[in-house]
């Protein structure tokens, strides 16, 4: 059976101050904080998850918080842009809203027939809003943004590469993507027939500086697989393709394998289940610090070490704060 990736599961980037990050993504962009937890590999730092009402795969942007770390820089071997899907005819609203919040629009243009605006988050992560009339998802509409304008989820990512052919071969021959368009040195691939969180662009930039992963850059992009059985099959296929793949790792809300594509971007394949309600009810997502069972014994220590953060008002009207600090 031919296996195909169905799209983006999540993108993980790096921020500096966690409170600044929370305020920007929940208040300015109006995306739900669906989970406040820690980096399981470095539990003295936060891991922040944003998404739609449930944090469905394809809507999730996550951050490792590294307060005090230096800024990274965008370059080859990286995901250099994260694109969100926005309702058609909403970009005028977003330009006015971002301007009112002191966020400068860096670019306003058309790309492959889609209208796109580009801007930076407070740490310098390059973001885009793509007016996408072909996306029927509903974003988080119980925050500050009405359903008419609310971000629907991820549209896709852009990777910068010194070359593109080996990465293109991996995408099309192994992962099941299709090359659907080209404009100069930009190559567009789609993972499935849907245009919700299924697009990846490669910018071919020979001679450009190699990127440095730190604050304001993307750490990795994760692709979707429906269940554990399919993930095991993907792992076997990647090993057969002579890619150096990790064992399956339990991330509590999904299971993951990691490998680097030929251009050195870190890829993950993550399962859709079990999801973010595995350790709490839907209405309480993002309202408290949650830890995996293997870190619960460290809770008091971690809460004393992690910086205090003020969490968004919950839809019930009750303000929840982290107990850390």
Nearest to 157 by CA among 115, 117, 188: 188
Confidence of residue 195 (pLDDT cuts 50, 70, 90): confident
Characterize 13-23 residue by residue with b for buried, 16 or more Cβ atoms within 10 angstroms of its Cβ, and e for exposed.
bbbbbbbbbbe
Longest alpha-carbon distance in the chain: 54
Note the pLDDT tens digit of each residue in 72-126: 999 999 999 999 999 999 999 999 999 999 999 999 999 998 999 999 999 999 9
CA distance 82 to 200: 10
Q: Are strands 42-51 and 107-111 parallel, antiparallel or unpaired?
A: unpaired
On the 0-12 / 13-18 / 19+ scale of CB atoms within 10 A, 174 is middle
d(CA 176, CA 157): 17
pLDDT of residue 315 exceeding 70:
no
Confidence check: pLDDT of 194 > 50: yes
Q: Exposure pattern of 239-278 as b/e (b: 16+ CB <10 Å)?
A: eeeebebeebeebbbbbbbbbebebebbbbbbbbeebbee
Q: Are 136 and 85 in contact (CB under 8 A)?
A: no
By CB neighbour count within 10 A (0-12 exposed, 13-18 middle, 19+ buried), where does 184 fall?
Answer: exposed
Total length of the chain: 325
Give dist(CA 130, CA 288) in Å, integer. 32
**Degrees, nearest 5: CA angle 171-176-180:** 75
Per-residue pLDDT for 145 more than 50?
A: yes
pLDDT digits (tens, 9 = 90+) for 204-250: 999 999 999 999 999 999 999 999 999 999 999 999 999 999 999 99
Contacts of 259-262 with C-beta under 8 Å, sequence gap 24+, read 261/167, 261/170, 262/166, 262/167, 262/169, 262/170
Q: Which of 64, 67, 128 is nearest to 266 (CA)?
A: 64
Q: CATH top-level class for 8-279?
A: alpha beta
Report the pLDDT value the prediction gives residue 196, as an integer from 0 to 100: 86
Residue 193 has pLDDT above 90, yes or no: no
Which residues is 117 bridged to in the sheet?
A: 108, 129
Tokens (6 digits) for 244: 């150096």
φ, ψ dihedrals at 36, nearest 5°? -110, 110
Q: Is the per-residue pLDDT at 48 higher than 60?
A: yes
Confidence (pLDDT) at 319: 35
What confidence score (pLDDT) does residue 325 get? 33
Q: Is the pLDDT of residue 150 over 90?
A: yes
Would you place residue 322 in the very low, low, confident or very high pLDDT band (cuts 50, 70, 90)? very low
């Amino acid at each position: 059976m031919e296996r195909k990736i169905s799209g983006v599961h999540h993108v993980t980037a790096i921020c500096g101050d966690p409170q600044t990050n929370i305020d920007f993504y929940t208040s300015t962009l109006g995306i739900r904080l669906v989970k406040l937890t820690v980096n399981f590999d470095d539990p003295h730092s936060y891991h922040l998850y944003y998404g739609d009402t449930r944090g469905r795969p394809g809507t999730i942007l996550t951050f490792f918080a590294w307060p005090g770390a230096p800024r990274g820089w965008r370059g080859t071997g990286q995901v250099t842009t994260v694109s969100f899907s926005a309702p058609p005819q909403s970009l005028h609203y977003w330009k006015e809203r971002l301007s009112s919040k002191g966020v400068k629009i860096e670019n306003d243009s058309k790309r492959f027939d889609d209208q796109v605006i580009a801007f930076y988050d407070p740490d310098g992560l390059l973001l885009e809003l793509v007016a996408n009339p072909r996306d029927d998802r509903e974003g988080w509409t119980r925050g500050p943004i009405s359903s008419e304008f609310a971000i629907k989820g991820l549209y896709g990512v852009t990777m910068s590469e010194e070359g593109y052919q080996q990465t293109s071969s991996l995408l099309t021959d192994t992962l099941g993507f299709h090359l659907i368009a080209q404009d100069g040195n930009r190559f567009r691939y789609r993972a499935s027939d849907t245009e919700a969180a299924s697009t990846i662009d490669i910018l071919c930039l020979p001679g450009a500086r190699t990127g440095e992963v730190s604050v304001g850059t993307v750490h990795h992009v994760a692709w979707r697989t429906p269940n554990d059985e399919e993930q095991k099959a993907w792992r076997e296929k990647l090993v057969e393709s002579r890619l150096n793949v990790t064992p399956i790792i339990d991330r509590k809300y999904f299971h993951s394998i990691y490998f680097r594509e030929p251009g050195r971007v870190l890829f993950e394949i993550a399962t859709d289940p079990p999801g973010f309600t595995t350790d709490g009810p839907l209405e309480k997502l993002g309202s408290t610090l949650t830890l995996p069972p293997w870190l619960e014994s460290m809770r008091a220590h971690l809460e004393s070490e992690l910086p205090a953060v003020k969490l968004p008002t919950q839809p019930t009207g009750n303000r929840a704060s982290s107990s850390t600090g």
